Amino acid sequence: MMDIGKRMMRDAIKDGFTLTVYYDSYDDGYYAYKGTDLETSWIHATAVDDPEILLTKKEGLWTYEQWAFLVHGNDPSETINDYSVPADGSDNWLQTWCSNNG
């Protein structure tokens, strides 16, 4: 069974998102990997116990950003520990994916 964090990353890439893997918080601006290769992003995502994954997708003039916090000490079906939810209460890709897959 594939780790749920890796499944989410695979599906995000398929849906046109670019992944940025941070070893700490994305607030610090330093990332370990940015791109759309699942295996490379997963190697970096598993290099630390609790990476933060930023999903970015451009559509016209808009850029959509969502994040997921992974904890590799959890069961593989519970690796996604937290994720972004829009302040206005609307659904986003990640929230919908987690609701349907978690």
Q: Which two tokens stand for residue 46?
A: 């598993």
- Give the residue among 46, 52, 61 at the shortest CA–CA distance from 20: 52
Per residue in 51-82, pLDDT tens?
999 999 988 888 888 899 999 988 888 989 99
Query: What is the model's pLDDT at position 69?
Result: 92
pLDDT at 32: 95
Buried b (16+ CB within 10 A) or exposed e, 71-98: ebebeeeebbeebeeeeeeeeebbeebb
Instruction: Identify the pLDDT of residue 90.
Output: 66
Whole-model pTM: value is 0.90
What is the domain partition of the chain in residue ranges?
Answer: 4-101
Structure confidence by residue, pLDDT tens digits, 1-33: 789 999 999 999 999 999 999 997 767 778 999
